[in-house]
């Protein structure tokens, strides 16, 4: 059975300002395309960030031999009572990665909250490395090998999708980690992930009801290696 990549992104444009509503990545077998397309459309049209007035669906055939298989990162959970305590844990984890500017880095996360992409940040110079900052970087073409039709993808399972993305990103050349806070107003668990720390869920990283979230991919190394990092994040099938 042939495999197909399915990408959905939905936004709402008002007065010339585009607000990202929802996005999803799947790799599914040919005979499941219809079911997934329908589920993803439902998701785009019933989202807590609002109703989309623009939905982009892209369906492309994937060659099986182009897929890189990775074991998902080991997962741990840090329980915190407040999001302020959660953010302190993020700082501690970044310091464990020998990142000196942790507090300044966290402040940048909200810069992405209306865009569909992540920030690619040089952790040593704090320079943003995305070619287009309005768009950000989107890690794409990935799915869990065991994802099956028993999952209800009309309703997003934040954890299931994030562990796939975080695993792909952790293996990107020159990426030493990732920070994520959901932009969905009802979802306050976020994570820090890297090959060394694994996927560390932190139960509170923002106030409930806030749409301010985002992702930062933490880059370290020569700038000449940025293109191959971007190429992996945006094109490698995982
Ligand atoms: C998102 O909204 O896409 C981010 C989801 C983060 C999930 C964190 C977790 O529950 O492990
Ligand atoms: Mg979201």
Task: Give buried/exposed letters for 105-124 (b at 16+ CB in 10 A, else e).
Answer: bbebbbbbbbbbbbbbbbbe
Strand partners, 95: none
Q: What percent of the chain has pLDDT over 70?
A: 96
- 138 CA → ligand 1 middle, Å: 15
| DSSP annotation of 223 | G
Nearest CA to ligand 1 atom 2: 182
- 202 CA → ligand 1 middle, Å: 10
Q: If you average pLDDT over every residue of the chain, what do you get? A: 93
* Predicted pLDDT at 113: 60
- Which of 48, 49, 182 is the best mutation target for the ligand 1 pocket, counting ligand atoms within 8 Å of the beta carbon and taking the most? 182
Q: Is the pLDDT of residue 147 over 70?
A: no
- 184 CA → ligand 2 middle, Å: 5
Q: Is the pLDDT of residue 150 over 70?
A: no
Residue range 112-140: average pLDDT?
89
* Predicted pLDDT at 156: 81
- 158 CA → ligand 1 middle, Å: 4
pTM for this one?
Answer: 0.94
Residue range 220-224: average pLDDT?
98
**DSSP H stretches of helix in the chain:** 33-45, 83-96, 102-107, 158-170, 226-235
- 120 CB-near residues (< 8 Å, 6+ apart): 128, 129, 130, 137, 217, 219, 226, 229, 230, 233
* Predicted pLDDT at 15: 84
Q: What is the pLDDT of residues 157-194, one digit of tens each?
A: 899 999 999 999 999 999 999 999 998 899 999 999 99
Give 115's pLDDT tier (boundaries 50, 70, 90): low
Q: Is the pLDDT of residue 112 over 80?
A: no
- 222 CA → ligand 2 middle, Å: 31
- Contact status, residue 91 vs residue 209, Cβ threshold 8 Å: no
- 198 CB-near residues (< 8 Å, 6+ apart): 73, 74, 75, 76
Residue with tokens 């690619």: 120
Structure tokens belonging to residue 16: 């010339």
Q: What is the pLDDT of residues 23-44, one digit of tens each?
A: 999 999 999 999 999 999 999 9
Q: What is the pLDDT of residues 76-93, one digit of tens each?
A: 999 999 999 999 999 999
Residue range 122-134: average pLDDT?
94
* Predicted pLDDT at 149: 54
| CA separation for the pair 105, 126 (Å, rounded) | 7
| CA separation for the pair 17, 158 (Å, rounded) | 26
| DSSP annotation of 79 | -
Which atom belonging to ligand 1 lies closest to the Cα atom of 165? 3
With a 6 Å cutoff on the Cβ, whether 159 touches ligand 1 is yes
With a 6 Å cutoff on the Cβ, whether 184 touches ligand 1 is yes
With a 6 Å cutoff on the Cβ, whether 191 touches ligand 1 is yes
């Amino acid at each position: 059975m042939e495999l197909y990549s399915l990408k959905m992104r939905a936004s709402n444009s008002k007065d010339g300002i585009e607000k990202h509503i929802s996005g999803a990545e799947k790799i599914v077998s040919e005979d499941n395309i219809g079911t997934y397309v329908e589920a993803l459309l439902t998701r785009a049209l019933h989202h807590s960030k609002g109703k989309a007035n623009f939905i982009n669906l892209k369906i492309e055939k994937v060659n099986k031999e182009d897929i890189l298989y990775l074991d998902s990162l080991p997962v741990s959970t840090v329980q915190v009572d407040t999001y302020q305590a959660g953010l302190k844990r993020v700082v501690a984890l970044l310091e464990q990665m020998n990142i000196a500017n942790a507090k300044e880095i966290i402040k940048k996360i909200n810069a992405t909250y209306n865009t569909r992409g992540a920030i690619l940040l040089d952790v040593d110079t704090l320079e943003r490395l995305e070619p287009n900052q309005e768009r950000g970087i989107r890690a794409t073409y990935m799915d869990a090998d065991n994802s099956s039709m028993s999952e209800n993808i009309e309703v997003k399972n934040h954890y299931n999708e994030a562990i796939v993305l975080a695993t792909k990103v952790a293996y990107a050349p020159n990426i030493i980690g990732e920070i994520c806070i959901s932009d969905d107003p009802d979802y306050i668990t976020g994570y820090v992930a890297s090959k060394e720390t694994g996927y560390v869920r932190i139960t509170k990283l923002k106030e409930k009801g806030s749409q301010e979230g985002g992702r930062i991919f933490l880059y370290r190394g020569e700038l000449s290696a940025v293109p191959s990092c971007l190429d992996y994040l945006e094109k490698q099938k995982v």
